[in-house]
Amino acid sequence: MGLLDKVDNLDDKKPAKAKPKAAKAVPKAKPKAQKAVAKAKPKAAKKAAKVKSEDKPEKIRPTGLPEGYELAGTMPRYIGWLINFAWNFGVAIGLLSIISTGADSDLTIGWVASGLMIIVNWLVLPIWTGRNIGEFVSRTKYINSSGNQPIFVHAILNNSIGFLSLIGLMLMMANFQNISDGGMASFITGVVFVIFYIVNFFFKKNSDYSQGTIDLAFSSYLVRHVASGNETGWLARFESLGDFGDKWQERNEQRQKKAKEKAEKKAAAAAEKAAKETESAEDASDNDAPEENSED
């Protein structure tokens, strides 16, 4: 009996030892499965991000003149240039003419006024409105390829071209006779400013959109401006300057029309005169023909 009890006890202990092994195997399998799932998630996220990026269309940056805008013509450009020149240098030229006469007078107020006018047209208005006095009078403005107002740096640099050319001429004239005495650097600087003005001029002449070097750098175009009618205060007053430009342009168009009509009348009169002369010549030749036959 004692042997049988021992055998029974051994049989009872064997399954008891096997159970802990099965229990240990289950917790070991869980972390491996979690790691596999964790590794699979970033891969799936990367694939989904790639698919989304491929599905999104690439943003195309607009180029060229935007639709709905009309380039400024030759006459508005000329009016804008002339008004800007008169505003920026009119007072200064008047003061220089007074000095050239030898008049001994205090011109401090005049020079201060001239400087303020230049600063307003060169810096204040371009930063505030994106346009200068000449563009208000000629009803023009600059836009970029997106149809928006260019950054104010474009207006400042564009307005600086004329000033730089004038400064360049002054440097060349002041240092021409002193090139060998240390004036070479100033003279070369003046030459560079003048050459830049000439290059910018030829760029505008040969460009399909009349763009200068600064316009090309900022992808900007000078177009006709149409006031919205909602302007108030000083902005409305500046917009009203365009009425003067419109009248000027209308008068110029009338003059061109009259000149064209006169040229057409002159051409018609010359053609009629030539026709009469040819007819008279033919008649004379016809009259001479019978006389020759009668003589024969």
Q: Is 133 helix (H, G, I), strand (E, B) or coil?
A: helix
Which is it for the CA torsion 268, 272, 278, 281, positive or negative? negative
Least confident of 37-41, 90-94, 233-237: 37-41
Comparing 228 with 111, the larger pLDDT belongs to 111
56 pLDDT higher than 90: no
Q: For residues 39-68, give the mean pLDDT.
A: 59
Q: Which of 110, 133, 138 is nearest to 123 (CA)?
A: 133
Average pLDDT, the chain: 78
Mean pLDDT of 106-135: 91
Mean pLDDT, residues 27-35 taken together = 51
- pLDDT per position as a tens digit, 148-191: 899 999 999 998 998 899 889 888 888 877 777 877 888 899 99
- At which residue do the structure tokens 């964790």 appear? 38
Q: What is the pLDDT of residue 43?
A: 57
pLDDT of 288 over the 70 cut: no
Q: Which residue has the tokens 């175009």?
A: 221
Residue type, 65: L
Extended strands (E) in 156-252: 220-224
Residue matched to tokens 């024969």: 296
Q: Give the model's confidence band at 63: pLDDT under 50 very low, under 70 low, under 90 confident, else very high.
A: low
Q: How far apart are CA 166 and CA 194, in angstroms?
A: 8
Residues 6+ positions from 127 with CB-CB distance below 8 Å: 152, 155, 156
Q: What local confidence, expressed as pLDDT, does residue 140 receive?
A: 93
pTM given for the model: 0.65
Long-range contacts of 240-249 (CB under 8 A, 24+ apart): 241/133, 241/136, 241/137, 242/136, 242/137, 242/138, 242/139, 244/137, 245/76, 245/79, 245/83, 245/137, 245/138, 245/139, 246/139, 248/79, 249/75, 249/76, 249/79
Buried b or exposed e, range 79-118, using 16+ CB within 10 angstroms? bbeebbeebbbebbeebeeeeeeeeeeeeeeeeeebeebb
CA distance 14 to 75: 110
